[in-house]
Amino acid sequence: MASKFGMAGGIPERRVRPVWDAIDSRQFKNALKLSTALLSKYPNSSYALALKALILERMGKLEEALSVCINAKELLYKNDSILIDDLTLSTLQIVFQRLDHLDMATSCYEYACGKFPNNLELMMGLFNCYVREYSFVKQQQIAIKMYKIAGEERFLLWAVCSIQLQVFCGNGGEKLLQLAEGLLKKHIASHSLHEPEALSVYISLLEQQAKYGDALEVLSGNLGSLIMIEVDKLRIQLAVLCLLFVLQAGSLCGNNLFAPWDRGKGRLLARAGDYGGAADIFQKVLRLCPDDWECFLHYLGCLLEDDCSLPRVANSPSSQVSTSMDCKHRHLADDVFDSRISRASEFVEQLIAEVGSDSVRGPGLANLEIERRKLIFGKGNANKLMEDLILYFSRFGHLACFTADVEVFLQVLPGDRKKELLEKLGKSVTSSSTASKNVLGQHITLFKIRELIGDMFSLPEGDLVGFAVQMTEMYCQNLPLSKDLDIQESVYGEEFLTMTCNVLVQLFWRKQHIGYLLEAIMMLELGLTVRRYVWQYKILLLHLYSYWNALPLAYERYKSLDVKNILLETVSHHILPQMLTSPLLVDADDLLKGYLRFMDEHFKESADLTFLAYRHRNYSKVIEFVQFKERLQRSSQYLTAKIEGSILHLKRKANSIEEAESALESLNYGSDFLDVSNEIQSKKLTFNEDLQLRPWWTPSYDKNYLSGPYEDMSHHPRENPRNEVKEAEAKVTRTIEKRSLLPRLIYLSIQCASSSVKGNFNVNGFDSKVSSELKSLLECYANFLGLCFQDAAELVIGVSCGQKSFEVFSSNLIDWMNFAVFLNAWNLNSRKPNSSDGQAFAINWQVLCSVLEQCISAKISSTRPLLSSPGTDLSILIQLVTEPLSWHGLIIQSCVRSSLPSGKKKKKGGPSEHSNTQLSNEIKNSISSLYGMIDQVIKWLEEQTDKPIDGNVDILLSSLAREQNDDAPGKVVKILENLVSSVNDIEVGERISQALRSWKPADAARKIVTAQGTALTEFLNICESKAKVLQALKLQI
Residue 109: pLDDT over 60: yes
**Residues 6 or more apart in contact with residue 696 via CB below 8 angstroms:** 502, 705, 716, 717, 718
Task: Specify whether the CB–CB gap between 130 and 138 falls below 8 A.
Answer: yes
Residue 718: pLDDT band (50, 70, 90) is low
Q: What pLDDT, on the 0 to 100 scale, is given for residue 250?
A: 39
Q: What pLDDT, on the 0 to 100 scale, is given for residue 830?
A: 66
Intra-chain end-to-end CA distance of the chain, in Å: 73
Cα 1002 → chain centroid? 36
Q: Among 54-68, 354-368, 660-674, 694-708, whose mean pLDDT is lowest?
A: 354-368
Residue 169: pLDDT over 60: yes
Reduced to 3 states (helix: H, G, I; strand: E, B; else coil), residue 764 is helix
Q: List, for residues 961-975, the tens digit of each pLDDT value.
A: 765 567 789 999 999
What is d(CA 738, CA 835) in angstroms, rounded to the nearest whole number? 27
Q: Find the mean pLDDT for residues 468-483.
A: 92
Q: What pLDDT, on the 0 to 100 scale, is given for residue 454?
A: 79
What is d(CA 870, CA 547) in angstroms, rounded to the nearest whole number? 6
% pLDDT > 70, the chain: 85
Residue 333 phi/psi, 5-degree rounding, is: -65, 155
Q: Among 140-154, 315-329, 442-456, 476-490, whose mean pLDDT is lowest?
A: 315-329
What is d(CA 280, CA 493) in angstroms, rounded to the nearest whole number? 44
Task: Specify whether the CB–CB gap between 257 and 246 falls below 8 A.
Answer: yes
Q: List, for residues 575-628, the tens digit of each pLDDT value.
A: 999 999 999 999 999 999 999 999 998 988 888 889 999 988 888 889 999 989
What is d(CA 147, CA 652) in angstroms, rounded to the nearest whole number? 57
Task: Specify whether the CB–CB gap between 362 and 296 falls below 8 A.
Answer: yes
β-strand partners of 686: 635
**Residues 6 or more apart in contact with residue 1031 via CB below 8 angstroms:** 931
What is d(CA 195, CA 227) in angstroms, rounded to the nearest whole number? 9
Q: Among 218-227, 393-402, 621-630, 786-795, whose mean pLDDT is lowest?
A: 218-227
% pLDDT > 90, the chain: 41
Q: What pLDDT, on the 0 to 100 scale, is given for residue 918?
A: 46
Residue 235: pLDDT over 60: no
Reduced to 3 states (helix: H, G, I; strand: E, B; else coil), residue 467 is helix
**Residues 6 or more apart in contact with residue 566 via CB below 8 angstroms:** 602
What is d(CA 134, CA 215) in angstroms, rounded to the nearest whole number? 29
Q: What is the DSSP string of 486-538?
A: -TTSPPTTTHHHHHHHHHHHHHHHHH--HHHHHHHHHHHHHHHHH-TT-HHHH
Neighbour count for residue 322 (Cβ, 10 Å): 18
Residue 239: pLDDT over 60: no
Q: Find the mean pLDDT for residues 51-68.
A: 91
Q: List, for residues 260-279, the tens digit of each pLDDT value.
A: 222 222 222 223 346 777 78
Q: What pLDDT, on the 0 to 100 scale, is given for residue 251?
A: 35
Amino acid present at 15: R
Residue 840: pLDDT band (50, 70, 90) is low
Task: Specify whether the CB–CB gap between 849 and 930 falls below 8 A.
Answer: yes
Residue 1: pLDDT over 70: no
What is d(CA 691, CA 571) in angstroms, rounded to the nearest whole number? 9
Q: What is the DSSP string of 650-712?
A: HHHTTT-HHHHHHHHHHTGGGHHHHHHHHHTTTS--B----GGGS-TT-SBTTB-GGGS----
Q: List, for residues 964-1010, the tens digit of each pLDDT value.
A: 567 789 999 999 999 999 988 888 889 999 999 999 999 999 999 99
Q: What pLDDT, on the 0 to 100 scale, is given for residue 78?
A: 80
Residue 548: pLDDT over 90: yes
Q: List, for residues 952-963, the tens digit of each pLDDT value.
A: 999 999 988 765
Q: What pLDDT, on the 0 to 100 scale, is given for residue 136?
A: 92
Burial (CB count within 10 angstroms: exposed 0-12, middle 13-18, buried 19+), residue 659: middle
Residue with the bigger pLDDT between 652 and 726: it is 652
Sign of CA dihedral 659, 665, 669, 674: negative
Q: How many helices (H) and strands (E) does the chain have?
A: 49, 2
Residue with the bigger pLDDT between 327 and 297: it is 297
Amino acid present at 296: F
Residue 432: pLDDT over 60: no
Q: Among 426-430, 667-671, 714-718, whose mean pLDDT is lowest?
A: 714-718
Q: What pLDDT, on the 0 to 100 scale, is given for residue 667?
A: 92
Residue with the bigger pLDDT between 848 and 274: it is 848
Q: What pLDDT, on the 0 to 100 scale, is given for residue 319?
A: 34
Say if strands 11-12 and 7-8 run parallel, antiparallel, or are unpaired.
antiparallel
Reduced to 3 states (helix: H, G, I; strand: E, B; else coil), residue 789 is helix
What is d(CA 205, CA 203) in angstroms, rounded to the nearest whole number? 5
Residue with the bigger pLDDT between 174 and 172: it is 174
Amino acid present at 658: E
**b/e string for 530-564 if b means 16 or more Cβ within 10 A?**
bbeebebbbbbbbbbbbbbbbbbbbbbbbeebebe
What is d(CA 47, CA 75) in angstroms, rounded to the nearest whole number? 10
Residue 889, CB half-sphere, CA atoms under 13 Å: how many? 33
Q: Among 205-209, 211-215, 397-401, 565-569, whose mean pLDDT is lowest?
A: 211-215
Residues in the chain: 1037
What is d(CA 366, CA 298) in angstroms, rounded to the nearest whole number? 11
Residue 930: pLDDT band (50, 70, 90) is very high
pTM for this entry: 0.87
Q: Find the mean pLDDT for residues 136-148.
A: 93
Angular region, 1032: left φ>0, alpha ψ -120 to 50, beta rest: alpha
Q: List, for residues 801-828, the tens digit of each pLDDT value.
A: 878 877 888 778 999 999 999 999 998 8
**Residues 6 or more apart in contact with residue 508 via CB below 8 angstroms:** 514, 516, 517, 520, 706, 870
CA distances (Å), origin 625, targets 606, 608, 619, 857: 7, 10, 10, 53
CA distances (Å), origin 60, targets 28, 48, 66, 483: 10, 19, 11, 52
Neighbour count for residue 733 (Cβ, 10 Å): 17
What is d(CA 53, CA 49) in angstroms, rounded to the nearest whole number? 6
What is d(CA 187, CA 164) in angstroms, rounded to the nearest whole number? 18
Q: What pLDDT, on the 0 to 100 scale, is given for residue 906?
A: 45
Q: Find the mean pLDDT for residues 242-262.
A: 36
What is d(CA 603, CA 781) in angstroms, rounded to the nearest whole number? 32
Q: List, for residues 61-70, the tens digit of each pLDDT value.
A: 999 999 999 9
Q: Considering the chain, what is the average pLDDT of its residues?
A: 83
Q: List, for residues 734-784, the tens digit of each pLDDT value.
A: 999 999 999 999 999 999 888 877 654 444 445 678 889 999 999 999 999
Angular region, 134: left φ>0, alpha ψ -120 to 50, beta rest: left
